[in-house]
Amino acid sequence: MPRTDPATKPPPGAPRSRKGVATRARLVGAAREVFEESGFLEARITDIAQRAGISQGSFYHYFDSKEQIFREVAENQEAALTAPPADEEGVETGPPSSEYDRILRANRLYLQRYRDNSKIMGVIEEVSRYDDHVNDARMRRQKHFADRAEQAIRRLQAEGAADRDIDADIAAVALGSMIGRFAELWLVKEWAPFEFDRAVEQLTRLWANSIGLAVPPKKRRSR
C-alpha cells in the first residue's frame, strides 16, 4: 500500500471530494461577506450557512465554530496581501526606473489591496486583539514585509545608496509599522479622505528619506 507524504496529506476534516472542496470554499466566501456586513461578534453561523446555500447542520461538517471559519477567512486575506501581483491588478510589470520607483510600486500594491479589502481588514484588525491565531496570521504578514524591507535596506547600504549608519533591522520594523498603521487609520478608521495617489507618494517619500535614499524632484502641479 503506497505511503502518503505528510506534506501533501490533507488536514484532518478537510473535504476529499470535489463537491466538498467547492462547498467549503463557498462557505468561506459566504462567511467573509457576513463578517464584512455584521462584524465578528454579530455574525451568526445561521447567516453564513444561509448565504452559502446549505443547512446549519451541514456547516458543522466543515467547521467546528464561527471562530474556526473566521480564522480561515483571515488566513486567506493575509496571504492575499503578500501574494505576487496578479494581472488583473493593473500594476506596472516593467523594470522600475529607480530604487525609489521600486518602493513606490510595492507601497502602491499593498495599499491598493488593503483599500480593496478594507471591510474585512477592519474585522481582522479587531479580532486579532483577542484571538491569538488571527494575530499570528497578522504578524506573519508584518514579518513578511519587514524581512523584505530589511533585505532591501541592506542591499542599498552595500551599494552606497542608503545611510550605512541606520540599523536595517530596526528601520524595517519601523517603516513597515508606519505603512501598516497608516493603512488601518486611513482605510479602516477613515481618519481623513486622503487622495490615493498622493498618500502613496507621500508615504514612499517618508520611507526613502528615512534611510537616505535619493528621492526624485517632486512634480509641481499645473495651475
pLDDT tens digits, one per residue of 158-168: 999 999 999 99
Look-up of cell digits 486567506: 76
φ, ψ at 63 (rounded to 5°): -140, 145
Residue 37 has pLDDT above 70, yes or no: yes
Straight-line distance from the first to the last Cα atom of the chain, in angstroms, rounded to the nearest whole number: 77
| Assigned C-alpha cell, 45 | 453561523
Which superfamily does 18-63 belong to? Homeodomain-like (1.10.10.60)
Write down the domain spans for the chain: 18-63, 87-211
Q: Identify the CATH number of the domain defined by range 87-211.
A: 1.10.357.10
Q: How confident is the model at residue 19 (pLDDT cuts 50, 70, 90)?
A: confident
Alpha helical stretches, state H, the chain = 18-42, 45-52, 56-62, 66-82, 99-116, 118-127, 132-158, 168-183, 196-211
Q: What is the pLDDT of residues 128-182, one digit of tens each?
A: 999 999 999 999 999 999 999 999 999 999 999 999 999 999 999 999 999 999 9
> Do 121 and 80 contact (CB within 8 A), yes or no?
no
Q: CA torsion angle for 31, 37, 42, 47 (degrees, to 10)?
A: -50
Percent of the chain residues past pLDDT 90, beyond the cut: 81
Q: Distance between CA atoms of 95 and 102, rounded to whole angstroms?
A: 8
Q: Distance between CA atoms of 59 and 73, rounded to whole angstroms?
A: 15
Q: Distance between CA atoms of 121 and 36, rounded to whole angstroms?
A: 9
> Do 200 and 109 contact (CB within 8 A), yes or no?
no
Task: Please state the pTM of the whole predicted model.
Answer: 0.85
pLDDT at 12: 43
